[in-house]
Amino acid sequence: MASVILQTRGLTKTYAGVTANTDVDFDLPAGQIRALIGPNGAGKSTFVGMLCGRIEATRGTVSFDGQDISHLPAHRRIALGIAYTFQITSVFAGLSVHENVALAARRAGGSAARVADVLNRVGLADRAGQVAGDLSYGHQRILEIGMGLAQNPRLFILDEPTQGLAESEIADFKALITGLKDTTILLIEHNMSVVMETAQYITVLNQGQILAEGTPDQIRADTHVQAAYLGTEDA
């Protein structure tokens, strides 16, 4: 059985008396592709923010590979091997595609060969010289994923990565993610076809708490999940 690379215990966030997450206990095994789903307002973004270090927890702990990282800032967590993409793209618009990936790789001590490999894997090798700000929104999303991969992360957190992508780009994304054999992935996603076809295990958040966890088939058949989410969302 794979060791747990990311774990939370009692993770809670309260804003001015309003609780976004309550006592979330979460275990992510190394090497797994895990999807995090739930209706809008379920607390997904707050939970991920606490994992990344962008949001300070009110109480509870976050551990990465057995180390308590609850009070580490985001850049320290990145240095430990946690990469993440945002819902809004954060590429360097004035730099070329190659320069964006090279900059991300440099942070992790990556080589020119690493940059070339990443550009090939994400299908942007033929656009390496293009200015990132001139890319379509979909290609900027793909570039951002490439920048995360260039850091050679042990855990890659992807927040709504297929938002704004065309159907062909989504198909390429599915192939890319399922081909990442050495990286643990936490995927926050509304597109249910992406979730069901790429995730090995799914965690469902609702009203700031874990409603259910299981394989795609188990989640699809869960009546509580159907009532809270799947029955009211477009697939």
pLDDT means per 10 residues, the chain with 235 residues, are 91 94 97 95 94 96 97 93 79 95 85 92 95 92 92 93 88 89 91 95 96 96 87 46
Give φ, ψ of 70 to 5 degrees.
-55, -35
In what helix (H) or strand (E) does residue 143 lie, and over which residues does it extend? helix 137-150
Q: Six-digit token pair at 71?
A: 């009070």
pLDDT at residue 71, rounded to an integer: 95
First to last CA, the chain: 32
Distances, alpha carbon 28 to alpha carbons 33, 157, 184, in Å: 9, 12, 8
Q: Helix or strand or coil: residue 23?
A: strand
Nearest to 180 by CA among 148, 224, 144: 148
pLDDT value of position 181: 79
Predicted local distance difference test score (pLDDT) of residue 235: 34
| pLDDT confidence of residue 111 | 84
d(CA 115, CA 105): 7
pLDDT computed for residue 1 by the predictor: 59
Give helix 97-107 / helix 137-150 axis angle, nearest 10°.
Answer: 30
Q: Residue 219 class from Cβ within 10 Å (0-12 exposed, 13-18 middle, 19+ buried)?
A: buried
Distances (CA, A) of 214 to 16, 29, 196: 33, 13, 11
Provide Rg for the chain, Cα atoms.
17
Give residue 143's pLDDT.
93
- The DSSP secondary-structure symbol of 192 reads H
Structure tokens at 172: 């390429």
The two tokens of residue 1 are: 């059985």
5: nearest Cα among 51, 65, 63 = 65
Task: Measure the CA–CA gap between 199 and 35, rounded to whole angstroms.
Answer: 6
- Among residues 151, 150, 152, 174, the alpha carbon closest in space to that of 161 is found at 174
Give the count of alpha carbons within 13 A of 193, CB side only: 10
- Bridge partners (DSSP) of residue 131 are 96
CA distances from 63 to 49, 104, 139 (A): 14, 24, 33
